[in-house]
Amino acid sequence: MSTNTIVLFLHVSGAIGYFLGIGARWFSCTALRRAQRVEQVGVLAALDGRLGPLTGISVLLVVSTGLYLAFVSSLLQAGWIDATPISLVLMIPLAAMLIEPRRRTIDRLAREAPDGPLPQSLELRISDPILLGTLQTVAALLLGIVFLRQK
């Protein structure tokens, strides 16, 4: 098995992990909006908190192996190679600045609130349109990269 084959496998595995992480976070965010009790929010927030390492490791794997493959395989002239760094420059800060602080706030508020119906402060954080909108944007950018790769 060649080095390129192994690196390609790691690249695809990283992409799958990133898609899983973003998809699970999107599911968690959607489920949070339907939650009616603090206990439900606590479970979903804990699940969402455990997705961070999967998503982070997957991003590192995709970026490092993608750079290697682009340089080694002489794919730097391909159109999707131009779009990918731009998309990554948008996705990574979006997730770090817009998703993660909101997720942590929801988790903290759920841990601090007593069991029972959702307090208004927690409901407001859960229904924040930026959280779901950012997850949808990241997912759309990922799908766009995959689509451009097929051309």
- Per-residue pLDDT tens for 7-28? 989 999 999 999 999 899 999 9
pTM listed for this prediction: 0.81
The DSSP code for 98 is I
Contacts 24+ apart (CB under 8 A), 31-37: 32/106, 32/126, 33/126, 33/127, 33/132, 35/118, 35/126, 36/117, 36/118, 37/115, 37/116, 37/117, 37/118
Number of structural domains in the chain: 1
In terms of residue numbers, what domain contains 30? 3-149
pLDDT at 76 over 60: no
- Per-residue pLDDT tens for 84-105? 778 878 788 878 889 889 999 9
Whole-number percent of the chain with pLDDT over 90: 48
